[in-house]
Amino acid sequence: MLTSREHKSEDTTFRIGSTVVGRDFTIIAGPCAVEDEMTFLDTARLVKSEGAHILRGHVYKPRTSPYDFQGLKDDGFQFIMAAKENLNMPIVMEVTAIEYVPIVAEYADLVQVGARNMQHFELLKAVGRIRRPVLLKRHPAATLYEFLMAAEYILQEGNENVILCERGIRSFSDFSRYTLDLTIVPALKERTHLPVFVDPSHASGRSAYVPPLAKAARACGADGLILEVHPSPENARCDKDQALTPEIFKKLMHELTS
Ligand code: PEP
Ligand code: MN
């Protein structure tokens, strides 16, 4: 298997902006979705000043309900350009359909395949053919084997720069959105050379739980985190309960870097 340690024993590393993924502890942060220029640029400035390496800049949003905010779609690209020009920060953006792969690969420095699309095999093959690194999120019901085989589809097409991201699995928890499966971090590190990230925001769904889970993920050997941050979470157009306030994000970044 191309993803296995037997195939390649040394850790996969690749540069995105100022960070070397797989070597540094990489922080991705930003809003759940791009909402408007001011909010996005405010968030970008904030996360950059606190040391985040990559900015969340999602314009296509997969949402559980079709009545919820679906992202700005094409109207969001102008704000991505504004953030890039003003802050010179790499962007991660989700691709939700095969037809969006070219445009997302043009604007994003890191292309995300969301949890629900983890086994969208044609999409995996399509992102396997681009020259951008891919952040592949674990489906909430995927086994370790299924997760690795999803990554295998991307590597098979020639794209070797894949980040695996644990984002919570479905359990009987009635106190958090999903259950963060931290055990998969060392289990993956044992079996694969690919970098492993953790998303404590979507896993817990509650901002109060994000800092302890973020620190635990690091202690478990994760190579990086993806965090949702919003200047005023109460006004966020999606996932407001899990967005870190600027103050909590700042405190967490100090704790992670000290
Ligand atoms: C996201 O990171 O924006 C997201 C929708 O996460 P997930 O696919 O893990 O639910
Ligand atoms: Mn979100």
Domain assignment present for 42: yes
Q: Which two tokens stand for residue 174?
A: 């009635």
From 180, 197, 199, 228, give the residue whose CB has the most ligand 1 atoms within 8 Å, as the site to mutate. 199
Q: Cα–Cα distances in Å, from 14 out to 22, 24, 89, 91?
A: 7, 10, 16, 15
Domain that holds residue 87: 14-257
Contacts of 110 (CB under 8 A, 6+ apart): 16, 28, 54, 90, 91, 92, 93, 132, 133, 134, 135, 163
Residue-wise DSSP of 22-84: TTB-EEEEE-SS---HHHHHHHHHHHHHTT-SEEE---S---SSTTS----GGGGHHHHHHHH
Q: How far is the CA of 202 from the centre of ligand 1 (A)?
A: 7
Contacts of 140 (CB under 8 A, 6+ apart): 115, 167, 168, 169, 170, 178
- Indicate whether 221 pLDDT > 90: yes
Which of 234, 197, 201 is closest to 26 using CA atoms?
197
- Residue 178: predicted pLDDT: 98
Domain assignment present for 226: yes
Once rounded to an integer, what is the mean pLDDT over residues 85-100? 96
Domain assignment present for 98: yes
Domain assignment present for 39: yes
Domain assignment present for 1: no
How far is it, in rounded angstroms, from Cα 138 to Cα 156? 18
Q: How far is the CA of 69 from the centre of ligand 2 (A)?
A: 11
Residue closest by Cα to atom 10 of ligand 1: 115
Residues 35 and 237 sit within 8 Å (Cβ to Cβ): yes
The CATH number for 31's domain is 3.20.20.70
- Indicate whether 257 pLDDT > 90: no
| Average pLDDT taken over every residue of the chain | 97
Domain assignment present for 6: no
Sign for the CA dihedral angle at 76, 122, 223, 178 comes to: positive
Domain assignment present for 3: no
Ligand 1 binding site (Cβ under 6 Å of any ligand atom): 32, 58, 62, 94, 114-115, 137, 167, 199, 202
Q: How far is the CA of 8 from the centre of ligand 2 (A)?
A: 33
Residue type, 55: L
SS3 state of residue 111: strand
- Residue 55: predicted pLDDT: 98
- Indicate whether 245 pLDDT > 90: yes
Q: How far is CA 16 from the centre of its chain?
A: 13
Domain assignment present for 183: yes
**Which ligand 1 atom lies nearest to the CA of residue 33?**
3
Q: How far is the CA of 85 from the centre of ligand 2 (A)?
A: 25
The residue with greater pLDDT, 258 or 174, is: 174
The tens digit of pLDDT for each residue in 128-168 reads 999 999 999 999 999 999 999 999 999 999 999 999 999 99
Place 258 in a pLDDT band, splitting at 50, 70 and 90: confident
For residue 198, the ligand closest to its alpha carbon is: 1
- Indicate whether 256 pLDDT > 90: yes
What predicted TM-score, i.e. pTM, was given to this entire model?
A: 0.98
Residues 134 and 127 sit within 8 Å (Cβ to Cβ): yes
Number of domains in the chain: 1
Q: How far is the CA of 157 from the centre of ligand 2 (A)?
A: 29
